[in-house]
């Protein structure tokens, strides 16, 4: 080995040795194998209902049900809790800004899949630095033959002092002011984007002016795991381009499913300015002054 290569290797080794333990971080989407190998280094948060958690969970996981992270507020579904309430929940769970959190939920249907990334988005909003979701959820963990525990884990509470990152949240006023400027992304399935269908709680069919469609179901394999990142990146590039600094605002029907593409774009693909409109179509469609396109 030449002297130049030796010096490079020595330098890299020195840098690695200087990295503090607190810098440990997961990938943003982790496999069951990865989680099993790193259980002692992360806080595993099971967001399923308590009865499902009690029936069997990842060893060491604490249970903080999805409804703690996303609430009904002002007639809207899946809204952020008040900052003080969210801070209290994080404190009770023993989560700190430097904690590496792995979110574990179900992938039985699209709503359950979205719960995982919605909690991931909420954690990033709250200022948690390192967040990951378990690819394929608890179903994949069990299918892979990983150990399952029925021992409830009580977290050690500690004050949460993270700085909230409100740049990841968009309001109705903000998204309307961004039409023609930002890339506005409707992540609903094509029939809902086009207005051919709508959910009962959405007042009017159709999408915001200029919004592009990036359907969420296309992001998953049949087993609830994400498709290969290269395929996901190709879908994203077709919808929003490859300018990683471009402002992107995602929405869906209620602000839950949109978190999937928010998570993939901002956490896995390196887009640096992605916001989620958590009021989504439920919010803007009830305002008759907002024009919608078929």
- For residue 5, pLDDT over 50 is answered with no
Arch. (CATH architecture) of 166-293: 3-Layer(aba) Sandwich (3.40)
Structure tokens, 87: 């801070």
Class of domain 19-143 as given by CATH: alpha beta
For residue 26, name the pLDDT band (cuts at 50, 70, 90): confident
Task: Say if CB 288 and CB 145 are below 8 A apart.
Answer: no
pLDDT tens profile 251-280: 999 999 999 999 999 999 999 999 999 999
pLDDT tens profile 104-144: 999 999 999 999 999 999 999 999 999 999 999 999 999 99
130 exposed, middle or buried (CB, 10 Å; 0-12, 13-18, 19+)? buried
Domain range summary for the chain, segments of one domain joined by +: 19-143, 166-293
244: left (phi over 0), alpha (psi -120 to 50) or beta: alpha
Structure tokens, 240: 């929003």
pLDDT at residue 20 in the model: 32
Three-state SS letters, 193-205: HHCCCCCCCCCCC
DSSP 168-185: GEE-HHHHHHTTTTSEEE
| Number of helices and strands in the chain (H, E) | 12, 14
Distance of CA 99 to the CA centre of its chain: 16
Whole-number average pLDDT of the chain = 93
Look-up of token digits 């890339």: 183
Task: Say if CB 57 and CB 124 are below 8 A apart.
Answer: no
Residue, of 7 and 270, whose pLDDT is higher: 270
pLDDT at residue 24 in the model: 55
pLDDT tens profile 154-197: 999 999 999 999 999 999 999 999 999 999 999 999 999 999 99
Q: Which among 166, 10, 17, 149 has a CA at the least distance from the CA of 86?
A: 166
Using alpha carbons, list the distances in angstroms from residue 133 to 86, 97, 114, 147, 189.
19, 17, 11, 18, 23
Percent of the chain past pLDDT 70, that is, above it, reads: 91
Using alpha carbons, list the distances in angstroms from residue 292 to 88, 119, 277.
39, 29, 16
- For residue 91, pLDDT over 70 is answered with yes
Task: Say if CB 195 and CB 292 are below 8 A apart.
Answer: yes
């Amino acid at each position: 080995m030449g002297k130049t290569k030796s010096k490079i290797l020595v330098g890299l080794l020195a840098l690695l040795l200087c990295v503090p333990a607190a810098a440990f971080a997961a990938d943003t989407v982790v496999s069951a194998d990865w989680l099993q190998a790193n259980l002692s280094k992360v806080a595993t948060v099971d967001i399923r209902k308590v009865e499902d958690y009690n029936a069997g969970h990842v060893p060491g996981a604490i249970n903080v049900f999805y409804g703690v992270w996303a609430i009904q507020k002002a007639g809207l579904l899946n809204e952020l809790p008040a900052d003080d309430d969210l801070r209290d929940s994080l404190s009770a769970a023993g989560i700190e800004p430097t904690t590496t959190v792995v979110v574990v939920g179900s992938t039985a249907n699209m709503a359950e899949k979205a719960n995982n990334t919605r909690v991931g988005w909420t954690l990033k909003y709250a200022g948690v630095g390192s967040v990951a979701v378990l690819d394929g959820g608890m179903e994949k963990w069990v299918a892979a033959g990983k150990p399952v525990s029925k021992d409830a884990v009580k977290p050690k509470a500690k004050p949460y002092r993270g700085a909230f990152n409100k740049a990841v949240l968009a309001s109705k006023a903000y998204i309307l002011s961004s039409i023609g400027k930002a890339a506005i992304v409707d992540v609903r399935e094509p029939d809902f984007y086009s207005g051919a269908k709508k959910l009962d709680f959405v007042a009017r069919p159709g999408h915001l002016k200029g919004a592009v469609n990036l359907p969420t179901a296309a992001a998953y394999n049949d087993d609830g795991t994400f498709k290969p990142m290269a395929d996901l990146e190709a879908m994203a590039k077709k919808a929003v381009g490859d300018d990683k600094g471009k402002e992107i605002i995602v929405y869906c029907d209620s602000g839950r499913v949109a978190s999937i593409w928010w998570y993939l774009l901002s956490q896995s693909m390196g887009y640096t300015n992605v916001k989620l409109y958590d009021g989504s179509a439920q919010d803007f469609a009830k305002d008759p002054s907002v024009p919608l396109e078929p």
